[in-house]
Amino acid sequence: MCWACEEAERERIWGLVDIISTGQMPAGYTADDLRAMGLPQPGELVREEQPDGTILIRQLAPQKPEPKNAFVCDSPE
């Protein structure tokens, strides 16, 4: 792939990440499309604006599922 094509691909991916960071699904894409490209789903990114105007986009850590049958004993023994 030529340098110009690689640059265009990076710009396209960055545009998708920017849209996803707002919590929206990019138009024309499905969740499966994003997974196939290795991109996060809407809601998995946090977008923060710094005091100097810089925008930071961070991916949230996956949450561990709670055990379905967690045993909790309130007995003192």
Query: In the predicted model, is pLDDT for residue 65 greater than 90?
Result: no
User: What residues does each domain of the chain span?
Assistant: 3-59
Q: Amino acid identity of 67?
A: P
User: Higher pLDDT residue, 36 or 63?
Assistant: 36
For residue 7, CA distances in Å to 17, 40, 62 come to: 15, 21, 30
Average pLDDT, the chain: 87
pLDDT in tens, 37-48: 999 999 899 999
Where residue 3 falls among pLDDT bands split at 50, 70, 90? very high
Work out the angle at residue 43's Cα, subtended by the Cα atoms of residues 54 and 45, and round it to the nearest 5 degrees.
35
Q: What's the pTM value of the predicted model, to 2 decimals?
A: 0.71
